[in-house]
Amino acid sequence: DTEVTQTPKHLVMGMTNKKSLKCEQHMGHRAMYWYKQKAKKPPELMFVYSYEKLSINESVPSRFSPECPNSSLLNLHLHALQPEDSALYLCASSQDLKDYTFGSGTRLTVV
């Protein structure tokens, strides 16, 4: 299995809702990432987990809460988001500092 699987593919949520994005990989990669991508812009790093521990938080607002339950799973919990948080959220994994694999993303719309 050489894929990163993200669910759901699309999500529409209200500003008072709580939802979660899920990411799964079975390549044995020890690092997992969350990126946010706005239209016509490059992906921007949000969080890095290394060996299931949060190693990098790029000053992301607390309404985004990452969780790494085990080495194959990565979640992003969302609460009280704003319309400007609407974007494509990408999960990625890597074994070392090369050869990152990205998922297809979750298209999030906050209404």
Partner 1 sequence: TQLLEQSPQFLSIQEGENLTVYCNSSSVFSSLQWYRQEPGEGPVLLVTVVTGGEVKKLKRLTFQFGDARKDSSLHITAAQPGDTGLYLCAGVLNDYKLSFGAGTTVTVRA
The DSSP H or E segment spanning 52 is none
Examine residue 88 and tell whether it contacts partner 1 (CB under 8 A).
yes
Buried-state track 1-27, b at ≥16 Cβ within 10 A, e below 16:
eeebebeeeebebeeeeebebbbbbee
Question: Of the two residues 85 and 106, which places its CB atom closer to partner 1 in the complex?
Answer: 106
> What is the per-residue binding string for partner 1 in 26-55, x denoting contact by CB under 8 A?
-----x-x------xxxxxx--x-x----x
Least Cβ distance, residue 21 to partner 1 (angstroms):
13
Longest dimension (CA), the chain: 39
Examine residue 107 and tell whether it contacts partner 1 (CB under 8 A).
yes
Least Cβ distance, residue 45 to partner 1 (angstroms):
6
Report cis status (omega within 30 of 0) of the bond before 69. no
Least Cβ distance, residue 41 to partner 1 (angstroms):
8
